[in-house]
Structure formats: C-alpha cells, structure tokens
C-alpha cells in the first residue's frame, strides 16, 4: 500500500515528504500542497510546499554529488540503474495505486506505466554502456591543407545538474525517461514533479533511494509553481532542463539561460484516412488513439481528417466502438475515467459548446458528471470551430471531412503543433508522400500516434517542442562532446 511498508519513510502520517541529501524531509515552510483526487474531487494526498532556500540546498548538493558521480565507472552507474528498475517493478502495485488516486489513470494502465518505466530504466542502462563507451577518432589530413599531424579523440561528458519536469499524465514514466539518461551519462538530477502525480513520483524516487544512489545525486522538490517554478527553471545551478507539459514550456524556454533544453509541449495529432484504408483498422486505432486515458495524451489522435467518400462508413464504425467504451472510476478499470481537474473539464466543455453553437454533428449526447466526461465524437467539424485546432486533452474527438489529400495535409500543417500524425491507406507510395509532406516529428503509417516503444526517437516540430527524446537521443542530449587533440611533431601515416 502507498506510504506504508517499504515506503513508510516518505510519509509522516499526514503529508508526503520531499527528498534531499538522501533523506526524506518536511519542508521548513510548514506548509503543504493538497492533491485533489479527480474522481472524488476531495483531497487525496498532501505534499511539502518546499521553499526557495530548500531548492538552493538541493542545487548545491546536486552540484557536489555530480562531481564524484561522473568519476563513478559507467558499468557501476548502469548496475545501480538496473537495481532501481527491479525495485520499481517490484513495487508496481503501490505506485499504480497512487496513479489511480491522483491522476485517475485506469488501474491496468497505471500498472503498465510503472512496468514500462522499469523497462525504460534498464534499457537506458544497457544503451548507456554502449553509446557512452564509444567515441570518435579523427585524423587531420582529411581536411584540405593538413598533413596527418593531429589525432582528435572525442568523448561524451556529462552536462552537470539536470532539472526534470514531467507532466501529470505520465508522472512516473516521463520522469524516469529524464532521470535514467541523466544518471547513466554522469549527471545529477533534480526532479520537480507535477502537483497531480507528485506522490507517484515520490514513491518512484524512493525506489532509486532503495537502490543506493549516492546522497544528493537525486533530489525531488515538491511545491507550488508560483513559489519555486521560475526559481527552479531560472536557477544558475541548472545545466539542462528536460520538460514535458503544456505551453508553460514556451515560457520556460524564454526565461532559461544558455543551457540545453528538451521540451515536449503537446500536439494536435491528425489522423488522415484515405478511400482505400482498412476502415476496421482505422476505427480501432481511432478508439485507442483518441480515447485511451480519456484522451489525455499528447500523442492522442486529436483530429480525424477523412475522405468524404468513406466518412459515413468510418463514423458509423467508430460510433459503434464508442458505445462499447466503459465510463466510470479508474479503480474499476473503466476505459473513460474523470479528467484530471475541474478546470480541465470546464475547458473541454467550452470546446464542446463552441462546436455545438457552430453546428457540429454530435454522434453521442454530451454528458458530464463532475470531472467525468462521456466519450464524444463530433462529426462535420469545420475549421471555424475551436475543436478543429485546440487540444481538448479529454475524450472528445472531432472529425473533419476532406475532399482531397492536399486538404488533409493543409489542415495538419496549418496547426501550430507538429508532434505526430498518422495516415491510413493500403498504398505505401501515397503513405510515404503524405508522411514526407506532414510537418510533424513523427508520422505513423496505419497505426495511431504513440511515443513508444520508448527507445524510438520522439520529437515535435513548431510549438510541440525542442530537441528529440527516446533513450539514445536523451542520453546524447544530456552530454556534450569533449575532444582531446594529440599534436605530432611530424606527419604520421598508418602503416607508413
């Protein structure tokens, strides 16, 4: 159970503690932040409201701990990560319990998130020992005018202190996708969890604690964004920020110093459906892509662009599948669960009302109880409706009927987002042409958008982000190249 047994140290009976210097502590502020259960809409947990002084302290500790961690052999760093991964998987039940209660993720998906996270940590350890164990050797005589008098050796060195800020929808998985690459590459790590999802993160961090990482190397500060948000992202001790979330990321990128940034800020992933598509396959993928975790995924299908000639048939198939989705509590493993907060539900409702006023066809009746919104397919959506462009982050999916492939590509590319997209057709040649024309970080052919498997590169264009994630890219992003050049007094040619 959460906060008990192996996790007893992280809870004081009333509130969860924060993690600094290898210990679980109460904030000197004496204040806590409440976490509201999206289902009951009552306070479920409390976490420490850390102060700026406490942030300064973890930054100092992170800087010191990183120096000796960078001198820890790579295989030892990997060994500790493997240990943390095993502990994380062993404790999947209490962590999943927190996910269910603080972000209303369905029970089975919550377990999957923890297991996937353990696998990601192990994969990262494996990949790290390979790619960080290799460098380049260059010789000077390949560049015009040079003799072979210089040998250049390159290696990858850590950046220093990495600040990781994951979002509420994958607080554990998107935290470890930042923590594991940072650590294997020899960096230290300061984690600022989202408020909703913080307790799941604290349990996950405790698994790293139990694995025996050095004191100060990993810290986790909780609290109000207004108190420590900007303070963290603008802190001079931070050498790199890895952020996943909403447009806060744009503000962070404007305020951060001259440090590498990795950002993933959402999407409006389009699903383009051609006349020859397998409509049963499309319908299943629209359900999975549009409605899993109630549409609260940056990679969710967020607009269907279907050729008019097959639109009626597709809409009927999707409607039939929507009718089968179960709606209710995450504990019951319902397909559709309450969205994360009342403000989120209100925002979604605003998009629905706008579509109603402007004449969209409602394939189901709009229904909401508290934060629970029933799945809704909106047909005949037009570009003047907000839902055509904005991310609901909820179980509401617009269908726009198109008369040409160009119209679909144009709609996709007119979005300020460019995360992923998908195209359904049996004609692979057309699929490739469409994929090349879509201005998104990834295009899936005949499947819904998705980040995983977690070692695949994952990146967004335009307002969807900066840099590329995925295990290898994240490790590389959290290092910089260091070169040593050996200068020879006379040219030396191999076997010469």
* Chain positions contacting ligand G3H, by CB under 6 A: 169-170, 297-299, 450-452
* Strands 376-379 and 361-362, bridge-based pairing: antiparallel
| CA separation for the pair 456, 471 (Å, rounded) | 7
Please report, for residues 144, 283, 420, 490, the alpha-carbon distance to residue 280 in angstroms, rounded to integers and kept in the order given.
59, 5, 21, 70
Tokens 């960096």 sit on residue = 187
Of 83 and 116, which CB lies nearer to ligand G3H in the complex structure? 116
Q: How far is the CB of 415 from ligand G3H (least distance, A)?
A: 16
Q: How far is the CB of 300 from ligand G3H (least distance, A)?
A: 8
Q: How far is the CB of 216 from ligand G3H (least distance, A)?
A: 29
Of 58 and 165, which CB lies nearer to ligand G3H in the complex structure? 165
Of 125 and 419, which CB lies nearer to ligand G3H in the complex structure? 419
Q: What is the CA radius of gyration of the chain?
A: 24
Please report, for residues 16, 101, 197, 290, the alpha-carbon distance to residue 44 in angstroms, rounded to integers and kept in the order given.
11, 7, 11, 28
How many other C-beta atoms can be found within 10 angstroms of the C-beta atom of residue 429? 8
Q: How far is the CB of 170 from ligand G3H (least distance, A)?
A: 6
Of 166 and 398, which CB lies nearer to ligand G3H in the complex structure? 166
Of 7 and 458, which CB lies nearer to ligand G3H in the complex structure? 458
Of 272 and 298, which CB lies nearer to ligand G3H in the complex structure? 298
How many other C-beta atoms can be found within 10 angstroms of the C-beta atom of residue 293? 24
Q: How far is the CB of 266 from ligand G3H (least distance, A)?
A: 8
| CA separation for the pair 420, 181 (Å, rounded) | 23
Of 219 and 334, which CB lies nearer to ligand G3H in the complex structure? 334
Q: Hey, is 185 helix, strand or coil?
A: coil
Q: How far is the CB of 413 from ligand G3H (least distance, A)?
A: 21
Catalytic residue (one of 97, 113, 127, 264) = 264
The sign of the dihedral angle between the CA atoms of 212, 262, 203, 10 is positive
Q: How far is the CB of 169 from ligand G3H (least distance, A)?
A: 5
* Residue among 243, 276, 237 nearest 474 (CA): 243
Of 239 and 469, which CB lies nearer to ligand G3H in the complex structure? 469
Where are any strands of DSSP class E within 380-447? 396-402, 417-418, 420-424, 442-445
Tokens 């942030």 sit on residue = 55
| CA separation for the pair 314, 129 (Å, rounded) | 47
Characterise 117 by phi-psi region: left (phi > 0), alpha (psi -120 to 50), beta (else): alpha
DSSP one-letter string for 62-101:
HHHHHHHHTTS-HHHHHHHHHHHHHHHHHTHHHHHHHHHH
Does 308 qualify as catalytic in the annotation? Answer: no
For residues 478 and 182, the answer to whether their CB atoms sit within 8 Å is yes
Rounded to the nearest angstrom, the gap between the alpha carbon of residue 274 and the centroid of all alpha carbons in its chain is 30
Q: How far is the CB of 450 from ligand G3H (least distance, A)?
A: 4
Active-site residue set: 264
């Amino acid at each position: 159970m959460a906060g008990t047994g192996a996790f007893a140290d992280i809870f004081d009976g009333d509130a969860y503690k924060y993690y600094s210097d290898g210990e679980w502590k109460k904030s000197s502020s004496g204040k806590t932040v409440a976490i509201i259960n999206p289902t009951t809409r009552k306070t479920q947990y409390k976490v420490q409201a850390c102060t700026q002084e406490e942030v300064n302290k973890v930054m100092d500790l992170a800087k010191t701990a990183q120096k000796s961690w960078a001198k820890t052999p790579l295989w030892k760093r990997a060994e500790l990560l493997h240990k943390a991964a095993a502990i994380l998987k062993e404790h999947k039940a209490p962590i999943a319990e927190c996910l269910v209660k603080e972000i209303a993720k369905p029970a089975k998906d919550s377990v999957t998130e923890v297991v996937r996270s353990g696998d990601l940590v192990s994969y990262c350890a494996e990949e790290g020992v390979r790619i960080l164990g290799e460098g380049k050797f260059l010789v000077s005589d390949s560049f015009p005018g040079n003799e072979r008098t210089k040998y250049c050796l390159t290696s990858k060195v850590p950046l220093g202190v990495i600040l990781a800020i994951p979002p509420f929808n994958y607080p554990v998985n998107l935290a470890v996708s930042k923590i594991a690459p940072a650590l294997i590459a020899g960096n230290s790590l300061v984690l600022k969890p989202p408020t909703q999802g913080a307790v799941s993160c604290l349990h996950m961090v405790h698994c790293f604690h139990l694995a025996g990482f050095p004191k100060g190397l990993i810290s986790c500060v909780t609290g109000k964004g207004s108190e420590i948000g900007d303070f963290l992202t603008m802190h001079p001790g931070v050498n790199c920020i890895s952020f996943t979330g909403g447009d806060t990321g744009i503000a962070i990128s404007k305020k951060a110093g001259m440090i590498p940034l990795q950002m993933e800020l959402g999407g409006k992933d389009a699903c383009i459906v051609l006349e020859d598509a397998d409509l049963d396959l499309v319908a299943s993928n629209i359900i999975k892509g549009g409605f899993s975790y109630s549409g609260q995924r940056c990679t969710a299908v967020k607009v269907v662009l279907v050729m008019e000639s097959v639109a009626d048939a597709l809409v009927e198939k999707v409607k039939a599948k929507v009718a089968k989705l179960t709606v209710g509590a995450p504990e019951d493993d319902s397909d559709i669960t309450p969205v994360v907060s009342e403000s989120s539900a209100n925002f979604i409702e605003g998009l629905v009302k706008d579509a109603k006023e402007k004449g969209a066809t409602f394939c189901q009746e709009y229904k909401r109880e508290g934060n629970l919104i029933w799945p809704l397919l909106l047909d005949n959506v037009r570009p003047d409706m907000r839902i055509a462009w904005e991310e609901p982050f909820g179980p509401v999916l617009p269908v726009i009927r198109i008369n040409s492939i160009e119209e679909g590509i144009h709609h996709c590319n007119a979005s300020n987002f460019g995360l992923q997209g998908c195209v359904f057709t049996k004609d692979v040649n057309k699929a490739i042409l469409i994929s090349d024309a879509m201005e998104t970080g990834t295009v899936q052919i005949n499947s819904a958008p998705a980040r995983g498997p977690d070692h695949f590169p994952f990146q967004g264009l335009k307002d969807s982000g900066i840099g590329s994630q995925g295990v290898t890219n994240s490790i590389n992003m959290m290092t910089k190249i260091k070169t040593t050049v050996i200068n020879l007094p006379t040219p030396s040619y191999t076997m010469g």
